[in-house]
Structure 1
Amino acid sequence: MASLIETHRSGAEVVSGDAICRKKSVDLLEELGLPKGLLPMEDIQDFGYNRTTGFMWLVQRKKKLSVVEVYVPEASPEKVTFKTGTGLSDSFDATAFALGE
């Protein structure tokens, strides 16, 4: 995963440190119209978003989630789909990831 991040790092907005990474992550989710509680927000070391490629990453101290892709289908904006590296995917109601909204 580190090499994939490196290919998108050039031109990306990158921040380090738990507090600023949490804020930037939530701000980006809100900007994209995604639920603010979509990502695990514990012990974040590095966060980056490359607006040109649309690639976003979040690196944590401990592995929490083996998800390689998250998307909201245009045809079903009330659903969030998660895909793993093994090709398995599942969809959930977006409201399940709201942060007390």
Structure 2
Amino acid sequence: MGLVTEEVRAKAESYTGDEICQEKAKCFLKEICMPNGLLPLKDIEEVGYDRESGVVWLKQKKSITHKFEAIDKLVSYATEVTAVVETGKIKKLTGVKAKELLIWVGISDIYTEDGGKITFKSPTTLSRTFPVSAFVVPEEVEPAKEKSSEATEVKEAVPVKEAVAVKEA
């Protein structure tokens, strides 16, 4: 992992375990204004992010191939994916390849553009642009009915002043 030096690891936030790593990967994508479905990894073992340098790394148990149905494209994710990120851009990407015709092409850069477009570049400067919507996964939201019944239970069980403190916490 050329980007992930011991110095970067020492300064970075890092997490282990699939559940927290899935959550943190989605949070970091949102933070850099990238679509939440861009990294459909499975069995993630580790996620790390050094905000100062922008270095990000993700490790999963085994490599996977994912089909983005909206654009009919296969993308392969290695066991280790690394990159340098900033708002609207992912640079020096390693561990990600897209299938073009009969060959797998490495992806080195990804950036979003005005108008809802996202562009993927290869190290040979070939690029492809797609709608951002092709990489967005609808987020699971609890039904409003369940939330309102929980809030009612809290109000009944706790005096009003404490209920406000509970909501802020």
Alignment TM class, shorter chain as reference = 0.7 to 0.9
1:56 corresponding residue in structure 2: 56
Q: Which residue of 2 aligns with 1:70?
A: 110
- Give the C-alpha shift of residue 88 in structure 1: 4.3
Return the alpha-carbon distance in structure 2 between the equivalents of residues 89 and 10 of structure 1.
Answer: 34
Structure that is richer in strand per residue: 2
Q: Which runs of 5+ in 1 are unaligned?
A: none
Query: What residue is the counterpart of 2:41 in the other structure?
Result: 41
Deviation of 1:96 after TM superposition, in Å, equals 0.6
User: Within 5 Å, which residues of 2 pair with 1:77-96?
Assistant: 78-84=116-122, 88-96=126-134
Distance change (3 Å), C-alpha of 1:27 and 1:94: same
SS of 2:20's partner is helix
Residue identity opposite 1:79 in structure 2: K
Distance 1:58 1:87, change over 3 A: farther
Q: Distance in 2 between matches of 1:44 and 1:28?
A: 15
Tell me: higher relative CO, structure 1 or 2? Use CA pairs within 8 A at least 6 residues apart.
Answer: 1
Instruction: Please tell me whether residue 16 in structure 1 is matched to residue 16 in structure 2.
Output: yes
Residues in 1 aligned to 2:35 and 2:28: alpha-carbon distance in whole angstroms: 10
Greater gyration radius: 2
| % identical aligned pairs | 39
Task: Number of aligned residue pairs: give it.
Answer: 98
| Aligned-partner Cα distance in 2 for 1:88–1:99 | 26
- The alignment yields a C-alpha RMSD, in angstroms, of 2.2
Paired with 1:4 and 1:19, the residues of 2 have a C-alpha distance of 25
Closer, same or farther: CA 82–59 of 1 in aligned 2, 3 Å: farther
